[in-house]
Amino acid sequence: MTNNSTNENCFNFNGRLQSLTANSAQVFDLIVIGGGITGAGICLDASSRGLSTLLIEKNDFASGTSSRSTKLIHGGLRYLKSLEFGLVRTVGKERAILYKNAPHLIIPQNLILPIYKNGNFRKWQLRIALALYDFLAGVQKNEKMKILSIDEALVKEPLLKKNELQGAGIYSEYRTDDARLTLEIIKTSLNYGSFAYNYIEATSIRKENEKFIVSTKDYIYDKSFVFTAKQVVNATGPWTDDLRKINHLNSNQKICLSKGVHIVLKHKDFPLKKPVYFDALENRMCFAIPRNNCTYVGTTDTIYTNSNKQEPRATISDIQYIIDSINNSFNIPNKITPQNIISSWTGLRPLIYQKNKQTKELSRKDELIIDNNNMISIAGGKLTGYRIMAKKTTDLVCEKIGIDIKCQSQRIKLSSSNTITIENLSERKKNCIKKLFELSLTEKEAENLFHTYGHFTHDIIDLFQSNNYKNIIEAEALFCLKNESTYSLVDFFLRRTSKLHYSPEKINTQINLVLPIFSTYLKLTKEKEKKLLEELRNHQIILTKFQK
């Protein structure tokens, strides 16, 4: 359980090469492959139990499904429909733990669920379902569900279509930023001695003398490294079966992929007051969630068999389905059209495969798979259940390597919430906003910065002042480069700050401020600068141009 190198350099461009080289001479207890929420959770759980742990991610952290979800820490209302009571109970209890450990990043939200004649729920059904949900999910007294009359529902959300409206339910969900949650979990694991690197891909796995030998390719230096461990966990989500194949075993299909699309609209075009969980077309349900001067809406659920898992694309028919569902359910002064879309994201749900079942019929449960050479894969599940999945997986890892240490992750606060508690949250936020006001940020901008970086917002303010920057985004860029393993403009604008989703119109001006800071810190050549810009432009196209 000892590793002789220190991990202070693995998130730091200047020390990364040295750190990787030192680690290729170590034997780890555990190598986690995949830096989405599942791998992140396992890395934190294992390292906090004292296991020497290495996590590798082939792209950026959270660049797979874990930055493309609906961004809700669910109580699991929809599982009631499939009678998965155990799942509702587990995820409901879980979100209370997650909220306690990261209150700046996991934000309680009341959702409105309108009831229509011939909709998915009758009023009496919804009353029972929500009461059951409150009970199973252990919802706090002040957050318990309410049933509203038609008039009350329209006061809460005037955009609801009046025709055939019969009332609404209000229930509680928690909103997060999935990519930042993943990153913060990984950053927290570093405090327990883990090593975590993005842009390094596992290319082959073999077993020698009872140890796993993992060959990798590093995309920052274009070099190969080989790492050794007593145990390997495959946490590659949509790539689970691919990694099982490179593990040199004849593996059967375990995963089936379902594509889900969200679109982002300017809030002025879809001015919802409250998040709504509404009846979409084809007897499905969608979320519409106001956020950062925008409203995002989704999602679809269609089988995905294309080999491009890195950048699944939304099609025109996916987009039209969401737009038609909005126009069908809300009274918006000007109907939504594809021209209103400012951004979008498309993710792949890694679901446990069951023969002859449609994706929407498949359970969102997780499953552990153990291959013949003892590699453990963990697949399926939800963002919300990541900690429980991590516990289950790490328990098995401990059993396999003969260690008996109990999980303690329920008590671990994420590092960005270090000094923030549920009790002092509003006071800490107020202080932060006050300081940011003095630097000429608007209230919304200040609030957003606090929810993004929590405790570390003060570090960004310090960088802003000590460098005499003109715009806070310069300090954000330097902070992310120094502390968050940021290597590209897409990492920064998409997953560290979400600006590509919620304020894409500002990106062109912001690039001019941020690129020189990237260039100096990462010692970029002109050619490399051009590449980063091209990659960003490509992403702008992917998020706004849809396939036939």
Ligand X SMILES: Cc1cc2nc3c(=O)[nH]c(=O)nc-3n(C[C@H](O)[C@H](O)[C@H](O)COP(=O)(O)OP(=O)(O)OC[C@H]3O[C@@H](n4cnc5c(N)ncnc54)[C@H](O)[C@@H]3O)c2cc1C
**Residues of the shown chain interacting with ligand X in the complex, contacts defined by CB under 6 A:** 33-39, 56-59, 63-66, 68-72, 74, 201-202, 235-239, 243, 260, 299, 347-350, 381-384
* 468 burial via Cβ count (<10 Å: 0-12, 13-18, 19+): exposed
CB of 359 to ligand X, least distance (A): 10
- DSSP 3-state of 408: coil
CA angle at 8 for the pair 7 and 11, rounded to the nearest 5° = 90
Closer CB to ligand X, 237 or 275, in the complex: 237
CB nearer ligand X, residue 3 or residue 198: 198
Q: What is the CA radius of gyration of the chain?
A: 23
Least separation in angstroms between residue 392's CB and ligand X is 13
Q: What is the DSSP code string of 281-349?
A: GGG-EEEEEEETTEEEEE---EEE--S--SS---BHHHHHHHHHHHHHHB--SS---GGGEEEEEEEEE
Residues 6+ apart with CB under 8 A from 476: 449, 460, 492, 496, 497
Smaller CB separation from ligand X, 7 or 65:
65
Which amino acid is present at 250?
N
Cα–Cα distance for residue pair 344/545, rounded to 1 Å: 9
As a whole number of angstroms, the distance between CA 335 and CA 66 comes to 31
Residue 70 or 498: the one with the smaller Cβ distance to ligand X is: 70
User: Looking at beta carbons only, is 290 or 347 nearer to ligand X?
Assistant: 347
CA distances from residue 457 to 346, 432, 436, 454, 486 in whole angstroms, order as listed: 29, 8, 9, 6, 17
Nearest approach in angstroms of CB 73 to ligand X is 6
Query: Among residues 190 and 460, whose Cβ is nearest to ligand X?
Result: 190
Q: How near is the Cβ of 480 to ligand X at its closest, in Å? A: 18
Q: What are phi and psi of 140, to 5 degrees?
A: -60, 150
Instruction: Please state, in angstroms and rounded to a whole number, the distance separating the CA atoms of residues 459 and 401.
Output: 40
Q: In whole angstroms, how close is the CB of 239 to ligand X at the nearest point?
A: 4
CA distance linking residue 242 with residue 257, whole number of Å: 13
Question: What are the beta bridge partners of residue 304?
Answer: 257
Distance between CA atoms of residues 304 and 339, nearest Å:
26
- Smallest distance, Å, CB 212 to ligand X? 14
CB of 242 to ligand X, least distance (A): 7
Q: Which is nearer to ligand X, 90 or 415 (CB)?
A: 90
Give whichever of 259 and 428 is closer to ligand X, judged by the CB atom: 259
Query: For residue 431, what are the CA distances in angstroms to 45, 419, 449, 464?
Result: 32, 13, 13, 17
Nearer Cβ to ligand X, position 7 or 38?
A: 38
Whole-number minimum distance, CB 249 to ligand X, in Å?
A: 15
- How do beta strands 223-234 and 376-380 pair? parallel
Residue 81 makes CB contacts below 8 A (sequence gap 6+) with none
If the CB atoms of residues 31 and 489 are measured against ligand X, the closer one turns out to be 31
Give least dist CB 251 to ligand X, A: 14
Shortest spacing between CB 258 and ligand X, in angstroms: 7
Contact 53, 46 (CB under 8 A): yes
Nearer to ligand X, 34 or 454 (CB): 34
Helix ranges (H only) for 402-488 are: 425-438, 443-453, 457-466, 472-483
Q: How far is the CB of 383 from ligand X (least distance, A)?
A: 3
